[in-house]
Amino acid sequence: MSQSLPDTHAECGCRDFTTTRRAALALGAGAVTAMVGDVLTHTVYGAQPRGNVLVVLSLRGGADGLSLVVPHAEKAYYAARPTTAVPKDRLLHTDATFGLHPALAPLGPLWAKKRLAAVHAVGLPAPNRSHFEAMEVLEDADPGSDARVGWLNRFVGQLRGDSVLEGVQVGSNVVPTSLVGPRPTVALESPSSISTPFAGSDRGDAVARGLAQMYGDGRSRVHRAGREALELARLGGRYSEAAAQPPQHSASYPGSALGTSLRRTAALIRAGVGVRAVAVDSGSWDHHENLRGNLNARAGDLAGSLAAFFTDLGPDWRRVTVVTLSEFGRRLPENGAAGVDHGYGNAVLVAGGGVRGGRYHARWPTLRDGRLESGDLTVTTDYRHLLMEVLQTRFPGVDAHRVFPQAGYRRRLGVMR
End-to-end Cα, the chain, rounded Å: 43
Residue 415 lies in a domain: no
Residue 89 DSSP one-character state: G
With beta carbons less than 8 A apart as the criterion, state whether 383 and 348 touch.
Answer: yes
Dihedral of the alpha carbons of 207, 210, 215, 216, in degrees to the nearest 10: 140
Residue 196 lies in a domain: yes
Whether 333 has a pLDDT exceeding 90, the answer reads: yes
pLDDT at 235: 86
Mean pLDDT of the chain: 87
Query: Could you give the percent of the chain with pLDDT greater than 90?
Result: 74
Interval 14-40 mean pLDDT: 39
Interval 54-62 mean pLDDT: 98
Interval 57-80 mean pLDDT: 98
Whether 356 has a pLDDT exceeding 90, the answer reads: yes
Kind of pairing, strands 167-170 and 277-282?
A: parallel
pLDDT at 33: 34
pLDDT at 259: 98
pLDDT tier, 28 (very low <50, low <70, confident <90, very high otherwise): very low
Residue 34 lies in a domain: yes
Residue 303 lies in a domain: yes
Kind of pairing, strands 186-188 and 53-59?
A: unpaired
Q: With H, G, I as helix, E, B as strand and everything else as coil, classify residue 330.
A: strand
Residue 9 lies in a domain: no
Residue 26 lies in a domain: yes
Phi/psi at 350 (5° precision) = -125, 125
Query: Could you give the percent of the chain with pLDDT greater than 70?
Result: 81
- pLDDT tens for 109-137 read 999 999 999 999 999 999 999 999 999 99
Residue 413 lies in a domain: no
Number of domains in the chain: 1
- pLDDT tens for 227-261 read 666 767 778 889 999 999 999 999 999 999 999 99
Phi/psi at 97 (5° precision) = -120, -40
- pLDDT tens for 147-199 read 999 999 999 999 988 888 999 999 999 999 999 999 989 999 999 877 655 45
CA 293 to chain centre: 24
CB count in 10 Å sphere of residue 139: 21
Q: In this structure, what CATH number is given to the domain that contains residue 195?
A: 3.40.720
Residue 1 lies in a domain: no
Domain that holds residue 158: 21-403
